[in-house]
Structure 1
């Protein structure tokens, strides 16, 4: 199968080339905002054809963009509006189901672009040349710029690895241009016999990840240090926003990417550790679509007379959950697993922390005061709540593995749109019982090592 990786190339332009790249970035951003305003006036359309018909000539004459960059602007704006319409539809479904009361406001105003990044198309906007040079399109034509990068990535480029689109990005603190190039590499598909173990990964805030194998081996990856730093940035950002002075806004711009880099580094390091600890495994991950809406602390009725306000502690928990990048950690685990000869699959996340892995009893009361201790009210099985979640995920991934061996087809993501199929899967999950002896025998019956 093909795996997409990103090569980060450091560009080494001359002062004249820096000026050309900066002017191109500014024109590209202004063009994005102009097309966004036009799309908003045309009924918030996400049609590339309509945007091309109405704005292509202006992009060429007013902003002096090359033809391909003009088309890239239209595609990027259309993709933005398409994503906003998708969020609006989901919000409408959640409001009808009374999952949330908030109305999605992303389409109340035209999206405004601030980033100076440029989307480049390979062999039209940029090409690679000999002697580590790359030809990049600007407002005044092509320029050749030397580049540096990770040795393995530059070797893949020179060897003729399939190359996709790229993004020109300017690191403002370092005053440095980078070209982020997507590379498509071939990765061999593992077979069930090649996977030596099944591992479940439960993600969270207090513990960024908890893993469990079928034999009961567990590992906890704490996120205490990173969580405290993220909370510090959140408090600082809130204080600066309330202050509102020019100096506060300048400081906000300086720290705007620090929290993002902090979380990316934490997820990247954690993914490397998990992959190194569990080589050649089938890794089970929770399907966390819309998880923030389902885990959010909400107002409660007070004596039937009105809503009880959410406590400051609950508001803080909502903020922490909404700002942490669980999807990014799953993405890093998936692509790193593929490169290491493992495979990551998604399983249903329903009741993973409420179902007893020993007797199958499912209840919210199994988590006293929603704490870290899991105590089954039926069989009194007691264990760390996150480890219970990891073990339930492990057993569900083991079912996926058994179905893969039996049918020859692997389901990477469960189909959540079919309610009947989901109900059947949940009934199968309710029949699962955790025991290292049982899971080992099941693996041996299906041909596991």
Structure 2
């Protein structure tokens, strides 16, 4: 299983200038390659190399750097084509799709640049790297990371690493090939996980991750952004830049904590995990205007990804189930009626009289479906990226 770990580079002033100049140079070259690809009708990578490699070498790029620039530009068009095919940019003729198809792809000056082992080497004992730049090879560039990340790098790093500049700081994102544990083929049951906005995750084992704190944090961040954007001064813009991605980092940290709790519980009890397949839910649900912000800020896909990769590392079986009627069906008698859901938090069965928290009831239904999917041998599938 491939995972990505991040380390922070701690370059000296001269090293930082060389890294910054390198990113500007390679991304300017990538923009030129992208323009050539657009003019040539986006040929295959080998054909594109014929049109661009010599010029890239003349611009001062090394052989491997030139190859990576060409591949980066070609991969960007592959991703664009996949998004168009999936309908992520709208229907044919829509303004967004027409804009994407009418001009070459552009790369930001600080966009990521891939490095392989010929351009980048790691010295784990001294916590330094040696990295290619347009100013020559930089040696003894220090990096910082947690002990767990360093252990993972030392044991499992394999493949390319991306150099990224973010808010004046430099990071390396390294690919690690971590072996998966053998999957437990005989789980003693399944932990059903009901995902929501009011409660981020509710499991059939009784664990509930309330969303009140996260929703309050989002509301505070939204209000602060509104005030700073309305003010429009230089200091307000500096503060907006400083606080950028703060909400995303907080959400990701919360989802990591929740997913670790769920997977650890399943591993300890010998259970599998059953998740709802919520693909396309934003397009299916109709909400009032004041509720749309909460829906589109709902990070169910990220939480599902975290649970999935942690489950693979722990050898915990994972299945995706159809979420239809899980909130309307009684987990005790199986009676299904939309009137069973008397409120957001209350479930009261019209047939047997069972009263439960609505999310607890849904999580039990998901757990039952997970057992069914596992026993019948249906192929579970990870939902596509929304």
TM bracket (short chain) = 0.7 to 0.9
Aligned residue number for residue 182 of structure 1: 175
Measured in 2, the distance between the counterparts of 1:104 and 1:336 equals 36
Aligned residue number for residue 70 of structure 1: 66
Match of 1:21 among 10, 19, 22: 19
Measured in 2, the distance between the counterparts of 1:263 and 1:386 equals 21
The 3-state SS of whatever aligns with 2:100 is: coil
TM-score w.r.t. length of structure 2: 0.83
> What's the CA shift for 1:190?
2.2
Change (3 A) 1:399 1:21: same
> What's the CA shift for 1:74?
3.4
> What's the CA shift for 1:142?
2.4
Measured in 1, the distance between the counterparts of 2:20 and 2:249 equals 24
Aligned residue number for residue 240 of structure 2: 252
Change (3 A) 1:376 1:150: same
Aligned residue number for residue 138 of structure 2: 143
The 3-state SS of whatever aligns with 2:162 is: strand
Q: Which runs of 5+ in 1 are unaligned?
A: 298-313, 405-409, 417-449
Change (3 A) 1:80 1:138: same
Deviations 1:10-65 (A, max 9, x none): 3333322111111112223333444445555556x485456444444444434x33
> What's the CA shift for 1:191?
2.9
Match of 1:84 among 80, 85, 98: 80
Aligned residue number for residue 61 of structure 1: 58
> What's the CA shift for 1:67?
3.1
Q: What is the RMSD of the two structures over their aligned residues, measured on CA atoms?
A: 3.3
The 3-state SS of whatever aligns with 1:260 is: helix
> How many equivalent pairs are there?
378
Q: Does 276-285 or 126-135 show the bigger shift?
A: 126-135
Q: Does 332-341 or 148-157 show the bigger shift?
A: 148-157
The 3-state SS of whatever aligns with 2:256 is: helix
The 3-state SS of whatever aligns with 2:291 is: helix
> What's the CA shift for 1:106?
6.6
Measured in 2, the distance between the counterparts of 1:41 and 1:246 equals 40
Measured in 2, the distance between the counterparts of 1:130 and 1:372 equals 51
TM-score w.r.t. length of structure 1: 0.73
Say whether the 8 Å CA contact 2:348–2:356 is kept in structure 1: yes
Say whether the 8 Å CA contact 1:91–1:104 is kept in structure 2: no
Aligned residue number for residue 390 of structure 1: 363
Structure 1 residue runs of 4+, over 6 Å off? 92-96
Aligned residue number for residue 124 of structure 1: 118
Aligned residue number for residue 327 of structure 2: 353
Q: Which runs of 5+ in 2 are unaligned?
A: none
> What's the CA shift for 1:249?
3.2
Deviations 1:275-313 (A, max 9, x none): 23332321111222222111242xxxxxxxxxxxxxxxx
